[in-house]
Amino acid sequence: MTVNRTPPPPLNPPERLLMGPGPSNPDPRVLTAMGMNPIGHLDPYFVELMDQTMGALRGVFQTTNHHTLPISATGSAGLEAIMANLLESGDSCVVAVNGYFGLRLAELARRAGADVRTVEAAPGDTVDPAAIEALLVERPAKVLAFVHAETTTGACQSIPEMVSVARRHDALVVVDCVTTLGGVPLDVDAMGIDAAGSCSQKCLGAPAGLGPITVGPRAMEAVRARKQPPATWYLDFGLLFQYWGEPGGSPKRAFHHTAPIAAIYGFHEALRLILEEGLDARWARHQAAHEVLVRGLDVLGLSLFTPPAHRCSTINVIRTPDGIDEASVRARLLTMGVEMGGGLGVLAGKVWRVGVMGHNAQTARIEQFLGALDAALRAEGYSA
Ligand SMILES: *Cc1c(COP(=O)(O)O)cnc(C)c1O
């Protein structure tokens, strides 16, 4: 085969309303920020920007944890960093599993060398804290990990009960808040969460590429007490914070990797937008947009898969009506410039997943989505 040296055609990305389970459309201010002057990753202005970004991210996580930063990779890498630094060979970890992302947390813990026990719940349900407690009574665990809102089923796990169980048995609490941070109430310090990881592209409203995490003092103590350094070099907290800065540490930053400057510019602007809006107003906006969506779905004769008791405003899992091919509807919707998600795992072919996230959590955008969905469904022969 000969090497093809012809340049590809120029970029021409279509305009999309991104209503899937992430990414969401960033505010235009975020995209503008990403095109600003590039500088070096050790430039004094960039170091100042790193401090500002950490500070703003603490505000969004509602924490005083110094160790709060965006990992230079997507949400999964942030969660992997937490598991790989908190856990080592011989440690025990309990993971609540009610969908694909719970399974993934368990796999991250296993790969960190931990002995993993899971407590499962059916799709759409949340995990029973009493079942978690039963396992911890049997044998303690260093870490209890769970997903705040399981993006495959829309089920939102209530955090306080899980934290109480963990505290009674001296386990560290790790939360995957990838679909919730910036969209629904989450208060890391008041809730007693030891470590949490999210992503840039869902409710925080920036493009994909960063994995914001926060790690509290109890968790950092466990990291410092490790017998062996973590197997990962790129995600090693010890090395990462020589670059991002330890509290009271040297103002001189040690090179670790080249931070993705443009991504940090966009993320910084996204955090600024969140704190300008105010967290309470932002959560209320997500809730109001979710209610507009649910009322509109009802008019179309569609219903949500997730039981009302643990629905989450940011991730809406809709039952595909009988006799309708879910993939054809999604394909039609995309021709109208609107993206939504399909089902994953056991829900594949049975549901659609619609995100109400960040800049898209506004009535006009939800109505645009509903109008397109209505048209796509009619074209597929559906009538309510
Ligand atoms: C989207 C998502 C992830 C993965 O995040 P990436 O940024 O795609 O790596 C992990 N957990 C949950 C709950 C998610 O919704």
- From the alpha carbon of 76, which atom of ligand 1 is closest? 9
- The terminus-to-terminus CA distance of the chain in angstroms comes to 54
- Alpha-carbon distance of 60 to 336, in angstroms, equals 34
- Alpha-carbon distance of 52 to 47, in angstroms, equals 9
Does residue 1 carry a pLDDT above 90?
no
Say if strands 338-339 and 341-342 run parallel, antiparallel, or are unpaired. unpaired
- From the alpha carbon of 149, which atom of ligand 1 is closest? 13
3-state secondary structure 243-307: HHCCCCCCCCCCCCCCCCHHHHHHHHHHHHHHHHHCHHHHHHHHHHHHHHHHHHHHHCCCCECCC
Question: Atom 14 in ligand 1: which residue has the minimum CA distance?
Answer: 178
- CATH 3.40.640.10 is held by the domain 28-275: yes
pLDDT digits (tens, 9 = 90+) for 116-174: 999 999 999 999 999 999 999 999 999 999 999 999 999 999 999 999 999 999 999 99
- Alpha-carbon distance of 242 to 251, in angstroms, equals 10
Does residue 220 carry a pLDDT above 90?
yes
Give the Å distance between the CA of 95 and the centre of ligand 1: 16
Question: Atom 7 in ligand 1: which residue has the minimum CA distance?
Answer: 75
3-state secondary structure the chain: CCCCCCCCCCCCCCCCEECCCCCCCCCHHHHHHHCCCCCCCCCHHHHHHHHHHHHHHHHHHCCCCCEEEEECCCHHHHHHHHHHHHCCCCCEEEEEECCHHHHHHHHHHHHCCCEEEEEECCCCCCCCHHHHHHHHHHCCCCEEEEECEECCCCEECCHHHHHHHHHHCCCEEEEECCCCCCCCCCCHHHHCCCEEECCCCCCCCCCCCCEEEEECHHHHHHHHCCCCCCCCCCCCHHHHHHHHCCCCCCCCCCCCCCCCHHHHHHHHHHHHHHHHHCHHHHHHHHHHHHHHHHHHHHHCCCCECCCHHHCECCEEEEECCCCCCHHHHHHHHHHCCEECEECCHHHCCCEEEEECCHHHCCHHHHHHHHHHHHHHHHHCCCCC
Does residue 250 carry a pLDDT above 90?
no
For the segment 266-282, the average pLDDT, to the nearest whole number, is 98
Contact 241, 94 (CB under 8 A): no
pLDDT band at residue 382 using 50, 70 and 90 as cut-offs = very high
Give the Å distance between the CA of 23 and the centre of ligand 1: 10
Question: Atom 5 in ligand 1: which residue has the minimum CA distance?
Answer: 75
Q: Which residues are near ligand 1 (CB < 6 Å)?
A: 22, 74-76, 101, 147, 151, 176, 178-179, 199, 208
Domain ranges of the chain: 17-22+279-379, 28-275
- The domain covering 17-22+279-379 belongs, at the CATH homologous superfamily level, to Aspartate Aminotransferase, domain 1 (3.90.1150.10)
pLDDT band at residue 384 using 50, 70 and 90 as cut-offs = confident
- Alpha-carbon distance of 266 to 176, in angstroms, equals 22
- From the alpha carbon of 177, which atom of ligand 1 is closest? 13
Write down the pLDDT at residue 49.
97
- Alpha-carbon distance of 258 to 55, in angstroms, equals 20
Does residue 317 carry a pLDDT above 80?
yes
pLDDT band at residue 11 using 50, 70 and 90 as cut-offs = very high
Write down the pLDDT at residue 251.
73
Write down the pLDDT at residue 258.
97
pLDDT band at residue 94 using 50, 70 and 90 as cut-offs = very high
Mean pLDDT of the chain: 97
Write down the pLDDT at residue 248.
81
- Alpha-carbon distance of 92 to 94, in angstroms, equals 7
Substitution site in 104, 127, 148, 151 for ligand 1 pocket (most atoms within 8 Å of beta carbon): 151
Give the Å distance between the CA of 303 and the centre of ligand 1: 24
Q: What are phi and psi of 161, to 5 degrees?
A: -65, -40
For the segment 48-58, the average pLDDT, to the nearest whole number, is 97
pLDDT band at residue 319 using 50, 70 and 90 as cut-offs = very high
